[in-house]
Amino acid sequence: MTDIVAIIRRACLGLPEVSERLSHGTPTWFVRGKKSFATVWPDGHHQDDFPHLWCAAPAGAAVELVAENPQTYFRPPYVGHRGWVGVRLDTGIDEAELVEIIEDGYRAVAPPALLARLDAP
């Protein structure tokens, strides 16, 4: 599972003004040190005994992802009501898809100035 955490870390830290620190004992990524947009649970969390990522998502995206692929996506506790999506990391999710989910999560919380930097050529 170390490799998948490294992929998540690289994707998150490659985004403008993102920092990492532990939150609730697990790696979490923040925009400008304030707003979190992704948390990885490499060993599971509470009743979930599978590794997973919780990630912010654009409006309506989480519901759509869960409906399309409930084996990989789920509504996470505590943050699911805010539109976040859970991603099982033990289902063979493609790295490109995972990176896209992370970038979408960043876009859901980052301010316009940082989005402009992200979209600049």
Domain borders along the chain are 2-119
Predicted structure pTM score: 0.92
pLDDT digits (tens, 9 = 90+) for 7-41: 999 999 999 999 999 998 899 999 999 999 999 99
Q: Does domain 2-119 have CATH number 3.40.1190.20?
A: no
pLDDT average, residue stretch 63-70: 97
* Confidence category of residue 49, pLDDT binned at 50, 70, 90: confident
Q: DSSP of 10-21, one letter per residue?
A: HHHHTSTTEEEE
Q: Quote the CA–CA distance of 38 and 120 in Å, as a whole number.
A: 23
Give me the chain's average pLDDT, please: 93
Q: Quote the CA–CA distance of 21 and 81 in Å, as a whole number.
A: 23
pLDDT at site 43: 80
* Confidence category of residue 99, pLDDT binned at 50, 70, 90: very high
% the chain with pLDDT above 70: 94
Nearest CA to 42 among 31, 19, 26?
A: 26
